[in-house]
Every structure is written in C-alpha cells, then in structure tokens.
Amino acid sequence: MAGTVYGPEEEHKEIWVFLEYADGALEGVCLELLSKARQLADEAGWRLTGLLMGHQAAPLADHAIAHGADRVVSADHPLLESFTVDAFTDVAFQALLEEKPTVLLLGATPNGRDLAGRLAVRLRTGLTADCTDLRLDVRRGILVSEVSGFGGGVLALIETADRRPQMATVRPGVFVAEEPDRGRTGEIVPISVELSPEDIRTRIVERVRGERVDLTQAPALVVGGRGMDGQFGILRELAELLGGEVGATRPPVDEGHIERERQIGQTGVVCRPKVAIVCGASGAFHFVVGVQDADVVIAVNSDPEAPIFEHADYFVVGDAFEVVPALVHALRSEREVSYA
C-alpha cells in the first residue's frame, strides 16, 4: 500500500459520522451511528463531529446535535444537493485532511458504501465494512470493529493500526438510535467548498422513486424462507393482519420472488420488531443476525431439527402451507368476533 495520507501522530482524537439525508431528514442509520459514537466518545473523552454535505440542509445540523454530535462540519453548495460520489469524496477528503479525525463512521447505505470505498482509497486507509459492533481501545486510540466471517463461524475483530482515519460502515438496525435531546447545544462549523460541474462525472437525469419500505420500523415481521417456494401471498395476508411487513431470507430474494430491500440478515437489514414469525427458513447464521433481537421469535418449519428453533421463543414443527393459513383464519375469526 502506498504511503499514509495521515497517521496516528497527526490525528485529532475525534469520531466523525457522515450525515446522510433524504427528503429533509437524516437517515435512520446516521442517528443510530450518532448514538453509538456518542457512547464511544464519552468513554474516551473525545469529541463527536457530524459531517454534513448538502445544499440548504442547515436544520439537519441541529438534529445531529440533538442526537449526540458536539458539532457539525457543514459543507453547503448547490452541486452537493444530490449525492454524487465525485463531489462528496472531494469535499469529505478536504474536510478530513483539514481536521484529521481518528475515526470516520458511515452508514452502509448505497451512498454510504460508495463514499466509504472511494474515500478509503483516497485516504489510503483501512475500511471495515458491515460491522456488527464497534468498540474503542481508548488506551491505544484504536477502533475495534467486529465483523462476521466464514459463514458466521468466526467473529473477527479488525483494527487499522497506523493509518487514519480508522473507517467503518455499519448497516441500518445494528445499533439503536437514542431519543433526541432537543436541549443539547453544539457548534456548527461551515466550511468552504470549491466545486465545478466538471468535477462531477455523473449527471442525474431523472429521479425515479420506488416504493420504499423500512423493515427496521415494522412492529411485526412475517418472514418467508426458501421453504415458502416463492409463495408470499399468504405471508402478506398474515403481515397485514398483524399490522406488519413481509421480509425474506436471501434465496427468495435471489430467485426474484420478493424485493431485495425486504431481505433480512447480514447482507440485508437487521430488525428489532416486537414479533417475528419466520416460516420455511432453516436458521442460517447470516439470516438469524437479522431477527435475533426481535422481542419474540416464532418459527414454523417442517424439519424438527431445523436450527431456527434454537433461536425461537416459540416454534411449530409443521408445514407452513398449513400453519400460516390456519393462523390467518384464526386471527380473522377472532377479529370478526370482537367486531360483532
């Protein structure tokens, strides 16, 4: 690897969080990262800074402060109105070189991943993607990032010893966002931005907004695995009755039976619903990490030895095509009785 851009000897003991936003609100994963980073910064006695890049996004700086940032470094420019990796990398790179923080955290969203990879290369530093936990070794000033590997059989702790910033991405739902404290005060530091249209190689020609579902906010989840043979209709009915959403393991997503944004697990979303009903899924580690924090997990599987049962509070050994319609029928009957 080429020489360092900056190392521990020049760093300022600070944690930075990239503040991504959409539709006038900070992404949920940024609030989760701010909460986690606040906890780490308090342990270490370090400062927590949000990096906000956008156009006329100033009110979001106050939100970030309410969610734990001590200050927000704010870059405002019309060419930052929409995310482009060229512009955001240039501006973030300059801001990081100015201040040389120890740690930079980003949400593992499509834009966060795009920016993280590009920045890590430009900064010639290490990037740990999709962390399942973060700790600080305060004495050594080292971020210890936990990731899973080898099919979940190994939990690896990754450190970036002599390059800065130490970078990590975290998927939505891994950490919990604390309630904002509207009384918190902090500093907003505007920084100058020099950008011209020639710096940006991508052009946004049209914005097409698909239906966006946020499984992390669903109070109930009905999850289908490969055992559902792509038949999600009955699961949708059950989810609707419970006021929840439908999710899936990876195989039905890969086979095109359901949208990718509904995939739960290590490479999907991590959810904490009140109840998760998991049907026809074996219970692979990569999937289980996405539902194990549900208040109650109910599993339906025809194989009495299915590993998912080890992670379930309640389980039914049976054919999901019999159990789920029976459950739907029972719920409907109960509602009819209570409305009568």
Smallest gap, in angstroms, from Cβ of residue 4 to ligand FAD? 30
Smallest gap, in angstroms, from Cβ of residue 149 to ligand FAD? 8
Tell me the two tokens of residue 84: 């482009």
Contact 103, 15 (CB under 8 A): yes
Smallest gap, in angstroms, from Cβ of residue 282 to ligand FAD? 3
- Identify which of residues 4 and 132 has a Cβ nearer to ligand FAD in the complex: 132
- DSSP SS3 for 115: helix
Other Cβ atoms less than 10 A from the Cβ of 203: the count is: 8
Smallest gap, in angstroms, from Cβ of residue 284 to ligand FAD? 4
Residues whose CB falls within 8 Å of the CB of residue 279, separated by 6 or more in sequence, listed in order: 222, 223, 224, 225, 227, 228, 235, 299, 300, 301, 320, 323, 324
- Identify which of residues 122 and 236 has a Cβ nearer to ligand FAD in the complex: 236
- The DSSP line for 17-78 is EEE-EETTEE-HHHHHHHHHHHHHHHHHT-EEEEEEEESS-THHHHHHHHTT-SEEEEEE-G
Smallest gap, in angstroms, from Cβ of residue 121 to ligand FAD? 23
Binding site for ligand FAD (CB under 6 A): 151, 225-227, 249-251, 263-268, 280-282, 284, 286-287, 300-303, 306, 319-321
Smallest gap, in angstroms, from Cβ of residue 109 to ligand FAD? 15
Distance CA 97, CA 11 (A): 10
Type of residue found at 99: E
Tell me the two tokens of residue 38: 């606040």
